[in-house]
Amino acid sequence: MQARFTELGLAPDQLIHRSRPVAFIDLVASGDTFGRINEFLEDWSSGQCLTARAWRSRVRFVGIVAQGQTSPKAWRWQQNASWVRAYPPRTVRDVSVPWSLWDFLGNEQAKVTPSHPPAR
């Protein structure tokens, strides 16, 4: 995965020198995929003797979520993921879409790339 991220200009040392931030955008059920990307980048950057703080300001996470309750007690993935607190404010966001669109994109639409679950 490091080779692919490097090819795309997403290695931690490359993120630091980007002229614009990079945004990871995904349909979100639990936020686990974003957590794995964060962990991957953190582990990789420590191997490069870089602090994660150096590249975090260059990264955005945008979760596409199904519209739900708007009450203060509603469950929100980014409020329950401990890694989110390490990022600057406003770099981890949600975009709410109707359930029918989320379902179509996540469950009915053909995947554009193969899935890579953690076991691989």
Torsion of CA 105, 106, 107, 109, to 10 degrees: 40
Alpha helices by DSSP H, listed for the chain, are 2-7, 12-16, 32-47, 52-56, 99-103
Give the strand pairing for 59-66 and 22-27: parallel
Q: What is the pLDDT of residues 42-100, one digit of tens each?
A: 999 999 899 999 999 999 999 999 998 777 877 788 888 899 999 998 999 999 999 99
pLDDT at 117: 59
Q: Which residues contact 59 (CB under 8 A, 6 or more apart)?
A: 15, 21, 22, 23, 24, 41, 87, 91
Domains in the chain: boundaries: 2-107
Q: What is the pLDDT of residues 56-69, one digit of tens each?
A: 999 999 999 999 87
pLDDT at 115: 67
Confidence of residue 118 (pLDDT cuts 50, 70, 90): low
pLDDT at 72: 80
Closest Cα to residue 116, out of 43, 33, 6? 33
Rounded mean pLDDT of 91-114? 89
User: Model's pTM, two decimal places?
Assistant: 0.85
